[in-house]
Amino acid sequence: MTGHRGRRPAGRAATRLAARSGLALLAAALLIAAAPVTLAAAAAVYAAWLGGWPPVRLARAAAWCLPMLAAWLAATAVATGSWTRVAGAPYFAWLAMWQHGSAGAYAEAAVLIAPIAIPAGLLLGAAAWSLRIRAMAAGAAGHSPAAAVAFDQRLWRHQARSAVARIAAPGAAPLTLADGEIVTGAVIRAVGLPARDLARLPYQRLRSHQVVIGGTGTGKTTLVPLLTTPLPRLAAPRCRPGTSACVTPCLPSAL
């Protein structure tokens, strides 16, 4: 009986190893078969890592590609006059891509598959990047307990560099927006709020006392003029006799 019990765990381990190997081979085959989508997803994840982008930015980029996909499907419908052909357009484009690629016409192959490969790759990259961030935050990835901390530090540096580049161009960060919000700079990271490129502060928030707290060299003195300069222009339309909107906002105090 002891010998049989000893062989059972080994058999189960071999079965699990075989199952995992089979799944890995299947996933590798799918990634190779969908090479354009895989390459687009890898490029999206790499760009998100370098720029410190949130996954939603990749998903938003995929949404911006939908007009290209719609135009491609519409052109297919006009050229073929068959809805069946339109429904199978991704499959036929995939076949044509491999045919042109095997013939050495790589540019033509890329053009044929781009309308479907780019948005699909961006969505796949957004999903992969989201899983990576969640795994590192939960400590379920990395080779050591400090891996998640090191990953977050590197990601923060990438996000800070991306935020600096975002407002470096003249006019990239206006003093105010069309809805009257005051721009205070670029967003490095958003937690529990929608990810936006610019940090905004509504005019109504400036009607209460503001305190700016930060270490030396963090930009407190620079932030105060950003908050006070557009106040006269924003307050003038709101100042009407007999209304409570005509209230002088409190100036920020930098500590």
Q: 209 pLDDT band (50/70/90 cuts)?
A: confident
- The sign one gets for the Cα dihedral 38, 43, 47, 50 is positive
**DSSP 8-state assignment for residue 176:** B
Which residues face 199 on adjacent strands? 185
How far apart (Å, rounded) are the C-alpha atoms in residues 254 and 212? 5
Least confidently predicted of 76-90, 137-151, 204-218: 204-218
How far apart (Å, rounded) are the C-alpha atoms in residues 73 and 64? 16
Residues whose CB falls within 8 Å of the CB of residue 51, separated by 6 or more in sequence, listed in order? 158, 159, 162
How far apart (Å, rounded) are the C-alpha atoms in residues 238 and 247? 9
- Assess contact for 173 and 158: CB atoms under 8 A: no
pLDDT at 235: 59
List pLDDT tens digits, range 66-117.
Answer: 999 899 888 888 888 878 888 888 888 888 888 888 888 888 888 888 899 9
Residues whose CB falls within 8 Å of the CB of residue 52, separated by 6 or more in sequence, listed in order? 155, 156, 157, 158, 159, 160, 161, 162, 188, 189
- Judge whether residue 18 has pLDDT over 70: yes
